[in-house]
Structure 1
Amino acid sequence: RVLLIAGRPGSGRTALAEALVRDLGRGYRDGVLRARLGEPGGDPVPVERAARLLLDDLGVAAPPGADGDELSGLLRDALKERRALLLLDDAADAEQVDSLLPDNPRCLVVAVARGPLTGIPDVRPCTVGGLDARSAVELLERYAGSVRITVDPQAAEALVELCAAQPAALLLAGGWLAARPTASVADLAKRLRALPGEPATTRPLARTFALTYGALPAPAARALRLLSLAPLGLADAQVLSALAGCSVSAAGSLLDGLVDLGFVRAAEHGQYEVPGCLMPLVAQRLAAEDRDSEVQLARARMLERTVRLLQSCRAVTEAEGSAARRRLAGLPRNLRFPHRAAAAEWLRTRQPALLAAARLAVADGELDTLARRLVAALVRALTAHRGAEAAAPELYGLHRLVLDVAERRGLHRERAAALLNLADLDARTGRTRDALARYRAALDAGRLAKDPYATGRAMESVGGAYQELGDWQRAADWYGRALAQRLARDERADQARLYGRLGTVHTYAGRYGEALRNWRAAAAGCRRLGDGAGHARALSEAARVQEYAGRPEESARTCEEAAEGARRAGDVRLHAALRLRLADTLERLGDPVAARLHRAAADRLLAPRPGAPAPVCPDGSAGHDTPTDATKVAYEIRSGSQKS
């Protein structure tokens, strides 16, 4: 069920696992799924995040805000009928692996960990200590050349022993030799022995790192230290340029040099990665050699560069000539994207690191202004390129980060906006009671901020949550409170929408008199706004209420008025739906001839035009037999920064 490769970081355990997966992967028709269960700093990755990554690889949509147990269950369900191979790298403990194990015996898990996974049944372990002597010498030869190894094989074997045959230590030693063609293998072994501390009591990787790091030029050593600040240990020339305060071309040269020396390895999509086994050693050097103020300044430069890249990534989606495009033209060339496709690809490949950057910025606690700007820019970029629905899981996590900062800083307006956004996503995924609690909290925050938009939006949303729960009395009460505020502020479009919502809940509750009054008020509000289609839809709902109330003649007259309004507004689908409903009403009134005429008119309206698809009756329009909120419109929740 589980093949475990256990070993210390730097022992080659991940490379062995990858080689095994490449060999076994051909036998699994649904492919290989990969998840890293450890952060570069050593912290375990939450099960929720790992499960969501695996579900994304499977193409399974996971609801935003779902917890680890729910996502683990979704993952097991998704793998129930599949034959897949899972590679779980850098697992912290058995519980972390167990939560991701599929129930399907046709799936195989290859796990990489430091030690045994006690408690998981059917685990076959393999402990890795390092390379055999011959392979270790061959690895050195690849860097140092065959001549230096051939002339002094004993020195090569001694160097392998000093490195404990660990691939990571041998790569650093090989990089040191490659950079010094005149140095002998014996010279490097002598230098390693001369380091302070007994070789038997000091980790071979730490000793080799200390020697090779000490030989780095100052700019390269500083660049390596600063790379420990890169989210997920991933960086490109832009990231290092911001961290080190140098040009992008100079940063690229530094990265290539560090790759040659074995400190950094090339990753996918033009990125570079500090190996996880070296990250703690690099972070120790940063803490020891750089002042806190310099580290914070480097982190701030990196976040600011990321914000500008995200703004450029979003701006490229705007229309030519827009204000965002004009600002984009004023940015340096290396911060601009040539077209939308390039920006979308950059966002896709950098998304894990960008999300990690947002989490780290919020956790830092000292760069909250930059953290808020970064989250806002990331939300806008994801929405522009992927859409709010597709990016909902990522947006949920980002809104929670905003909420953390707002609560820490006492920013009531931002707290209200984050709560509203989170509650909307909860409501969309069926967690209505969770959404209701957050809407109420947003109302309190909006009142503390004295923000009428947030309070009105929260009251209306509380009413919507109660409506979803079927509590018509409370829904009407909260809609009424929101309407009173809109009336006091003379916000007419919002008034029309709320009259429609009140009409809907009163209809569901069977209070047809109240429902009819509110739909009439909604129709009047739309007429004053010049919204012909909204006026016709409100009248159509009023006609529906009259029909429910047993007044078919009045319903027919109102429906006729609504149909005429839809015709004047040019809403063909609504006009056709109203004609069909009018035909049904006339049939019940005993006038089949008039009913046939209205049906024929509807057929003509719905007939496909040459070169155009056939129109259909819209969902939730007058063609349905259930009351709907006809004047409801879609809108975004505005944060304080957006309002200003």
Structure 2
Amino acid sequence: MSEHARVEYRVLGPFEVLIGGQHLDLGGHRRQIVLACLVMEAGRVVPVNRLVTAVYGEHPPASARSQVQICVSALRRSLGADGRIITRDPGYLLEPAGDDVDLKDYELLLGDARTAAAQGRRDDAVARYREALGLWRGPALEGIDSSLLRAAAGGLTEQWLTAVEDCVDLELDLGRHRAVVAELTGLVVAHPLRERLRGQLMLALHRSGRQAEALDSYRAARRTLIDELGLEPGEWLQRLEHAILTSGSDRPVSADTAAATGAVPRMLPTDIADFTGRAEQSADIMTRLGGARERRAVPIVVIAGTSGIGKTALGVHVAHRLADDYPDGQLFADLRGHDSHAAGPEKVLERFLRALGVPGGLMPEGLDERAERYRDLLAGRRMLVLLDNAGDESQVLPLLPGDPRTAVVVTSRGRLGGLPGAVHVDLGVLDRGHSVTLLSRIAGDGRVRAEAGAAAELAELCGRLPLALRIAGARLSARPHWTLRQLAGRLADESRRLDELSHGTLGIRASISMTYDNIGAAARRLFRLLGILDAPDFAGWAAAALLDRPVEQARDLLDELADARLVEAVGGPGRYRFHDLIRVFARERLAMEESADAAGAARERALGALLFLTEEAHRRLHGHDKLQVRSAAPRWTMPGDTVGHLMPEPLAWLEEERSSLVAAVPQADRAGAVELCWELASGAVTLFEQRAYLTDWRDTHEVALAAADRAGDRRGRAVTVLSIGSLALVENRFADARDRLEEAAALFAVIGDAQGVAIAGYHLAYLERVDGRLDEAAGRYQAVLPVLRGCGDLAGAAYVLHRMAQVELDRGDTGHAEELLREALVLSRRVGSRRLEAQALHRFGHMYLETGEPGAAIEPFEAALAAVRELDDQIGQAYALSGLGLAHLRGGDHDRAAVALTGARSLAVDHGERLLEGRVAAGFGELALARGEFAGAVRELERALTLFRDIRAGTFEAWALELLATARTAMAEPGGVDSVTKAG
């Protein structure tokens, strides 16, 4: 098989695939079903859940998703490199570029035919219709054993019959009545209940001079309808028979002259008088369904959203606005899909048929017979069908018309991905402005304007959920003596909020309960356990920890909750959140249905999983374990392959879980899990430091320190104080940093933790160096290095070595500095820490600058920059760019120097790195000196000096003063350019 062989997909008849003209053996029936689903939706994503339903029906095995993945892999191999099955969230997409899909060709030809007919080009229209109909080789998808695909095939067959009828109408108009008699005779035999076909045959026979046969055909139709359905022929067919009887064979009779008036049902509920917002969604639906455009298939719009979000209100409102576009009537049914008394499609069809004029005594028996009669009555009519509150596709599929002149709007809590070609409109909560507007329309505009602040607070307490807002507004309307502030105060108590959001027959709790009661037991348990989490959103791993199950199982249950709209997808793939009121309901169910011990164990697993993954992210990011000795806090561990799948990019994972980390620290404190509290705070520093989330760093550590102190946990206090001291270093608050680091060193000494003392010691050594006390700095570094080596902390040793090298550079001993840096580089690479490696390379660059070799400095600075960019370490990038700028500057490339220093300044300012900002300003001052721009040099160097003095950085202050003196001298002496250039 050629790699680029043309592929033909055929669904209009027995399902088959041809490659290079040769039939492809697709293998087992599951592969055939999966590929048929993808072909039916070619060019559109088919969710995995729909593929699972197509293969296994409503009760799939636990391995269903993996089996579908296996099928897709096998199909990709069979179809070759251009087999074109693409993975795209939330499923797969068949992209048949350069290939043939008979269904797509058929739809395009039908569109051309209808366009030609609308433009009066009847001959062209018939030619296109016949070309399209010629693509059919038999019943659609014949041989495919799938109830979902059988329903789709039934829809295709209905469209095919409508296309045949439309084509025959044109041919009758063109006088080709004799040519269509044989075809119509066969079609009537195959579809004896299809009154439009019967009428066309009667017309063709009559116009061919065969009046008696035309009337015989009517009598045969009447017998069949009475025998099969207990029905007389429809009014249109009766009028046609009368027209043939009274016209004589030489007088033409048209379908128009026999058109029936028919029943015109108007079943829509009353429009919502205070309908608010949703302008964008309304316009979208109106655009898709409005007007009298020719269409290839019945347009279906699914309005999806959680309970109380306003789906019905939007559906009814839009249906009323569309009523003029559907003059033949509007049908409505509440399917009660999430109720224990859901409306079956057979009962709904009975209501619809009665509304369409079918008497009760002549009602067809059985779902299929009613659905066929329903589609027949809607054929040729412009009608709108609104199906409210659908539970799943099985409720909707039998209620879909066949004629593309009709349109369907469905509301559902799920997306109903199994409805072929449906367009989905997902509803979220109202924005703040519309929430307050809705309150004012119910409770009174004057009241709301008088308490604007309380109204905004009330809207937020209602979660901006339309149902909750309506209940709140109704309660205020019923109690004119209440203030909005009073009701907001009542809602502020979360334990009473759902009790307060109840009025008459309206209630949030009852609305959510209906959905909760109709999901599986495992999904219900996950739902209530998710109420434990304080984070605003969560991922599958958190659900797995809560349940103590593998991640894949938890994700399947999350998908079930998402389908039921009890949680909503948010942010990146696989992340979910609660609506505020649904979270309240989840916590109610948690308290009612889970013991305190079970809830506590689940909480401990979730927090332990977060701690485990945070430590894994640190290890994968830096190539070594956390520096501090771990506490006995429990970890909920996961296999390495699972962790690798969760965090292909560790820093990105930490960023995604930032809100979880910030929320987990106080949650652990409230639960009395002290060690979890301070370890989570300490672990989160990996993110806080690299992304400069300094407020998060401070807030979490204040909580952790208070928790450790209340519990008398000396290790917890030591670790937390050490981290607070590190924060002070980052913020250049060197005096505060020294106080905290000295306290941490003393605490670690008391508990006998030599490693902790060493870590505090090398931070203090940095402060000595910043103060210009190089001998003291060297002494501290030399003291801690053997301790770190002795306890196996090679990463800490590498850090100290490159810091010692900087001290030696400051002293002017470049030889010793180079030895230390080479050892630091070896250790950094041994532990696999790209960050430490980047720091050592950075020091190498500065060493070459000190030795007057700026050209040699460029390579290590560029290597350091590449490493920190790989880590997405923006502060590291700022330092590398600063060094690179100096290397270019001293090498004479002023333009590149300016570019690098500009990048460094931008990052330093963005992240509040005042020490680095001062160093960059000094670099710009040096650049201005080299360019002879002495006034600019003075401005930059004065700025640098101010920054260094503010943070008491003595060493750097001396450097800035030296450069500033040079710049001022150059300004004062016209011949000073030469001396400045020499100094640069």
Q: TM-score, normalised by structure 1?
A: 0.44
Q: TM-score, normalised by structure 2?
A: 0.31
**Higher alpha-carbon Rg:** 2
